[in-house]
Amino acid sequence: MTITETASPNFDERALPITMIVLHYTGMADAASALARLCDPAAKVSAHYMIDEDGTVHRLVAEDKRAWHAGAARWGRIEDVNSASIGIELVNPGHEFGYRPFPDAQIDALIALTGEIKERYAITRGNVVGHSDIAPRRKQDPGELFPWHRLSRLRLALPRPTRNLMDPMWTDAGFLIALERFGYDVTDKLAAVVAFQRRYRPELIDGEIDGECRSILLALLLPKPQGDD
């Protein structure tokens, strides 16, 4: 994998060890605009890597530094997500500018990069997350078109459970307790459910807690969730 060095000045020092990978989309009209913003001192945003649609990988911030990609976010007990994570931006116009599928070349490059990072820091599958997972009230990326199944089949992310599903019949309050245990910030209940669905049941994102959502979440909380066949 060839990496193009495109330095961003937007970083500071980490306060936590690296235990997460956070995936984003750029949400801008084109790659040039996104790269310019991620390298603009006035914007005060950055990521460690940006991957163009043709698979070109730009390294913007050294991995040992704290890039500014997550914003106000939380995953489990981690509140300074920027300090604990590697941020990867995928060039895509996003929901605002014409959201579209991610090209194979882009995902191929992401798989190679994620595999290296995950192995380098012994990051668990459950800590490879999307921006909407860690900031459900604010973010939708990388969105319902992102092919999580391609990563999960290589054990680079958790799968969507499909085998031996069983509805635990939790109340809505019980589901939210389980969802928080899994990692989500459930302060905004609807946003948390929508974020969960966007990741694990993207064909129906309605914010309703139903038997399928309960079954998927229960399976994810078990030691070895199975799916994404």
Q: Please, where are the H alpha helices in 39-188?
A: 81-84, 94-97, 104-121, 131-134, 148-152, 172-182
Q: Which of 70, 71, 88, 67 is nearest to 21 (CA)?
A: 88
Q: Is 87 helix (H, G, I), strand (E, B) or coil?
A: strand
Contact 43, 65 (CB under 8 A): no
Contact 26, 89 (CB under 8 A): yes
Q: Which one from 63, 89, 144, 212 is the annotated catalytic residue?
A: 89
Catalytic residue check, 89: yes
What is the C-alpha to C-alpha distance for residues 62 and 53, in angstroms, rounded to an integer?
22
The DSSP 8-state label assigned to residue 210 in this structure reads -
Q: How many Å is the Cα radius of gyration of the chain?
A: 17
Could you list the active site residues? 89
